[in-house]
Amino acid sequence: MGEEIDKQTFTSGDFSQFQKQLVEETALLQQWFDEQKFSEHKPVGGFELEVWLVDKQIQAQAINEQFLERLNNPLVVPELAQFNVELNGTPEALEGDILSRMMSELQNTCHRCAETASELDSQLMMIGVLPTLADTDLCLENMSKMRRYAALNEQVMRLRQGRPIQLDINGREHCRNTHYNVMLEAAATSFQIHIQVPQTEALRYYNASLAISAPMLALSTNSPFLFGQSVWEETRIPLFEQSVELGGLGDASRGPLKRVSFGSGYARESLMECFTENLQHFPVLLPIIKKSHHDTDLTASSNLMAHVQMHNGTVWRWNRPLIGFNQKGEPHIRIEHRVVPAGPTVVDTVANAAMFFGLVEAVAKRDIPIEKEMEFATVKDDFYRAAKLGLQSHIHWLGKSMTAQRLILDELLPVAKKGLQQLKINDADIEYYLGIIEQRVSTGRTGSAWQRQRAEQLNGDLQAMSCDYLKWQQSGKPVHEWL
């Protein structure tokens, strides 16, 4: 969704032409799936990390245009709000010292970003929801100066027929809010983990990603506060779902299919089902017409799927299949795991990625497919329970039910270790990064737990707590070592 567009207002003809192109491309995509046209390769890992720009008082600072111009790094791009940017990692094969290299790259990028921010009297902060964020920060004046975001806002509100967005999250406190644009979405920042997989195994990886979402969320929660209120352990989940509250065709907002959701079920035959669902159930939001390619030669430009990719970019499943292209123009499939929040530190972030890569690999390669042993409805319910209660939520796993904390320590850490070993990740890296997860979970010291405890010690002063949080983040120590 970071690519700029050439206009922000559309005619009915634009929508008709885009829909025609989308139908044609979806049919071609079905053909690619049927003929197994996707490149075969070992799993490849990558990531996107959304971060905040804040001032010395830890208030959101809307300066990403100046920041990005001064930084001049193509891997760092604007987000919806001017106080957010996105850091992208370089995709690499999941083997050997990939985790160390991911850590080194992210550290270097964060260091350069922090230096640039400092030159603008700003600071870089990784956190799911900024505790000091005010409702008034989420105004159109603070939207990034890109036509894409203005168009997105215009079209979402058009489909809502001008009805305001009603935020209603009942957690430790009841957070209610009325908003008249999509800027609520900017309050939630994520660490999105990508895994590029062979077509022959893509269904297994996708279903595995769904199955491990609840424990992945429970171990990484970092968003307990919103607009000064204490809400869910990972408030970012309901916040994002409600901030772009649109149903499917005809705005069937009370129906089962939403644009931001856990999805409608496991994939049964192939990931093509998600793209068919996109076409059949979700109206076009951004009808950006790309030059048509009638040539189906796979060495042609990725414009072959430009409309499919654009449309898929406006359906935000928590686990989202993506179609991409390599330098030879060959298509590939990757899965975007959108569950994990940003922060608390770079090392915690890489540990979260290690846990995901290990778990998804081991679960995808099980003799019995996970979807045969765990009902989708149960997996989905567990996901929202984990968002609300974190490590203390009860999660189901292969016929057992226990707290997420016990499940991760007793069952899932060994599974993740096995998966990383199957990928031939360096033993030292496996021990180091999974050791961080083990310490975080056994102490119960997630980002959310630390924020709550520190806020209580400071009599609810979220600004002081956020200052302390940022100091600890800058120390580089994993969150379980924070005092």
Distance CA 133, CA 150 (A): 21
Domain boundaries, position 460: 12-284+297-481
Number of domains in the chain: 1
Instruction: Identify whether 289 is part of a domain.
Output: no
In a domain, 453, yes or no: yes
| Beta carbons within 8 Å of 417's beta carbon, 6+ residues apart | 358, 430, 434
Question: Residue 23 sits in a domain of what CATH number?
Answer: 3.30.590.20
Statement: residue 260 has pLDDT above 50: yes
**Which residues neighbour 21 within 8 Å (Cβ) at sequence distance 6 or greater?**
289, 290, 292, 307
192-212 pLDDT, tens digit per residue, is 999 999 999 999 999 999 999
Please compute the mean of the pLDDT values over residues 353-382 and round it to a whole number. 98
Q: Classify residue 262: in a domain, yes or no.
A: yes
Residue 289: pLDDT band by 50, 70, 90 thresholds?
A: confident
Confidence of residue 299 (pLDDT cuts 50, 70, 90): very low
pLDDT value at residue 256 = 61
Distance between CA atoms of residues 348 and 99, nearest Å:
12
Give me the mean pLDDT over the 382-387 stretch.
98
Q: What is the pLDDT of residues 17-41, one digit of tens each?
A: 999 999 999 999 999 999 999 988 8
How sure is the predictor about 253, in pLDDT bands with cuts at 50, 70 and 90?
Answer: very low
Q: Which one-letter amino acid corresponds to residue 85? A: V
The residues, ordered by sequence, that sit 6+ positions from 97 with a Cβ below 8 Å of its Cβ are 426, 429
Q: Is residue 5 part of a domain?
A: no
Strand partners, 334: 196, 322
- Supply φ then ψ for residue 187, to 5 degrees: -75, -10
Residue pLDDT, tens place only, 44-55: 999 999 999 999
Q: Over 80: is that where the pLDDT of 248 sits?
A: no
Distance between start and end Cα atoms, the chain: 38
How far apart CA 412 and CA 405 sit, in angstroms, is 10
pLDDT band (50, 70, 90) for residue 247:
low
Is 150 a member of any domain? yes
Residues 416-462: tens digit of each pLDDT = 999 999 999 999 999 999 999 999 999 999 999 999 999 999 999 99
Cα–chain center distance at 56: 27
Position 294 pLDDT exceeds 50? no
pTM for the structure as a whole: 0.96
CA dist 452 and 466 (Å) reads 11
